[in-house]
Amino acid sequence: GAVVSQHPSWVICKSGTSVKIECRSLDFQATTMFWYRQFPKQSLMLMATSNEGSKATYEQGVEKDKFLINHASLTLSTLTVTSAHPEDSSFYICSAPKAGSNSPLHFGNGTRLTVT
Amino acid sequence: AQSVAQPEDQVNVAEGNPLTVKCTYSVSGNPYLFWYVQYPNRGLQFLLKYITGDNLVKGSYGFEAEFNKSQTSFHLKKPSALVSDSALYFCAVREGITGGGNKLTFGTGTQLKVEL
C-alpha cells in the first residue's frame, strides 16, 4: 500500500491565488521530504528539501517566497504555491525515505496543478 | 556533481521479447543506483536498487538490472516484456557517502512501449 500520501491529486486555481499541497508519510516518520516538479515528458526537477524543525533547502533557481515549504511534523510537509500564475502549472510530486540512508524514496501520487 | 544519462527517449518492444532500458551514471564516489517506474499522472514506484554486493539486482515485477562499474552503467532488463510494462522509467543515482542524504539525481526518463 501507499506509504506516502499526497493531497490533492489535482487542483485548478485562478491566477493570483495560492494553493497548498500536502505530503504525509503514513506509517513512518520522515525528518526529510523532497519536493519535485515535473514538466510534460520531462524528468523530475528537485525543487527543495523539506527539513522537519528547520528551514527548507531550496535548489538553485527556485524562488523561496513563491514556493513556501513547511515541515510541521515528522509526518507532514506542505508546499504552498503563492500568487500562482499559469507558468506554475505543472505536476508536483513529494517523496520521503522510509528508513535509513540507503532506503529508496517513496513517492506520493503527485498533484496536477492548473492555473487559469 | 552526480549525473545520470538515459540515452533513449523511447524503447519499443514486442510482448514476450526481452527488453533493455539503458542508464549510465557519473559520481565521484561509490554510486547508489535506483530504477523507478511512473504510470500516467502518478508518482514514481520503486523497482530496484544497487547499493553494494552482487552486480545483478532483482526487483519488482520481474525486472532486474546489472551494475557495471567499468562501463558506469546500470541497465534495466526484463526477460519477457508485458504490455502492462508500458510506462515511463527513470534511472537515479546518489553518491554513497556518509551524510550524503537521500538527494537523488534522475535521468530524463525512457518511455517503454510494449506492443502485442
Whether the per-residue pLDDT at B57 is higher than 60: the answer is yes
**A50 reaches B (C-beta below 8 A):** no
Q: What's the sign of the alpha-carbon dihedral A33, A14, A83, A45? A: positive
The answer to whether residue B43 neighbours chain A at the CB level (below 8 Å) is: yes
Nearest CA in chain B to A34: B103
What is residue B81's predicted lDDT score, i.e. its pLDDT?
97
Q: Please tell me the predicted confidence (pLDDT) of residue B76.
A: 98
In DSSP notation, B27-77 reads: -SS-EEEEEEEE-TTS-EEEEEEESSS-SEEE-GGG-EEEEETTTTEEEEE
CB contact under 8 A, A107 and B103: no
- pLDDT attached to residue B100: 47
pLDDT tops 60 at residue B106? yes
Q: Which of B41, B103, B104 is facing A110, going by the closest CB pair? A: B41
Distance, in angstroms, between A105 CA and closest chain B CA?
A: 7
Grid cell in block for residue A17: 491565488
Taking CA–CA distances from B50, the nearest residue in chain A reads A102
CA dihedral B55, B57, B63, B68 (to 10 degrees): -20
Residue in B49, B103, B107 closest to A46 by CB? B103
Question: Is a pLDDT exceeding 90 seen at residue A95?
Answer: yes
CB within 8 Å: B109 and A105 = no
Q: Which residues of A touch B30 (CB under 8 A)?
A: none
Could A42 and B44 be called an inter-chain contact, meaning their C-beta atoms sit closer than 8 Å? Answer: no
- Per-residue pLDDT at B98: 47
pLDDT of residue B42: 85
CB contact under 8 A, B46 and A106: yes
- What value does the mean pLDDT take over residues A19-23? 97
Chain A contact present for B45, CB below 8 A: yes
Chain B CB contacts of A7 under 8 Å are none
**Distance in Å, alpha carbon of A109 to nearest chain B alpha carbon:** 4
Per-residue pLDDT at B96: 63
Contacts of residue B32 in chain A, CB cutoff 8 Å? 102
Q: How far is A70 from chain B (nearest CA, A)?
A: 18
